[in-house]
């Protein structure tokens, strides 16, 4: 018999779906192992929250620096990497809209222009508003 964590790994590999997509596939009343998988996913999200908050704060700070015209290259590169990680993680957890915003932020940091940098603070606020119910 497979452990719930093994079942989760198999489900993710076979389905190509996000965690949220997997949760929709699971009938919680059908099998106690399914409830365990759901609990594992919820726990995984909770364990990611501290790094999620740190990453959001870093993007907020970089957006403020960009608006003030003081964004340095190391900060820009770090913000781009953080936005990339957020885009992937948020999509994996089923937060596609937030992942798309993070991806847009990543692309701005990848190839910044004065106009796109001015738009960063708005995108950072939008990302936080989109995630607020889940933080």
pLDDT in tens, 38-50: 677 778 878 888 9
Phi/psi-derived region of residue 26, left when phi > 0, alpha when psi is between -120 and 50, beta in every other case:
beta
Q: How does residue 1 score in pLDDT terms, banded at 50, 70 and 90? A: very low
CB atoms under 10 Å from CB of 89, counted, come to 18
Instruction: Provide the domain limits for residue 74.
Output: 4-134
For residue range 8-27, list pLDDT tens digits in order.
544 444 344 445 544 444 44
What are the backbone dihedrals phi and psi of residue 70, each rounded to the nearest 5 degrees, phi first?
-115, 15
Give yes or no for a contact between 53 and 135, defined as CB atoms under 8 angstroms apart: yes
What are the backbone dihedrals phi and psi of residue 69, each rounded to the nearest 5 degrees, phi first?
80, 20
Number of domains in the chain: 1
Who has greater pLDDT, 92 or 82? 82
């Amino acid at each position: 018999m497979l452990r719930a964590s093994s079942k989760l790994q198999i489900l993710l590999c076979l389905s190509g779906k996000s965690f949220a997509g997997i949760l929709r596939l699971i009938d919680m009343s059908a099998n106690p192992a399914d409830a365990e998988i759901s609990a594992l996913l919820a726990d995984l999200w909770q364990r990611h929250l501290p790094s999620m908050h740190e990453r959001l704060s870093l993007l907020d700070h970089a957006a403020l620096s960009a608006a003030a015209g003081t964004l340095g290259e190391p900060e820009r590169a770090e913000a781009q990497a953080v936005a990339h990680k957020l885009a992937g993680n948020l999509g994996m957890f089923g937060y596609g809209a937030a992942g798309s915003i993070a991806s847009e932020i990543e692309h701005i940091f990848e190839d910044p222009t004065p106009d796109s940098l001015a738009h960063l603070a708005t995108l950072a606020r939008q990302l936080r508003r989109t995630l607020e119910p889940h933080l």
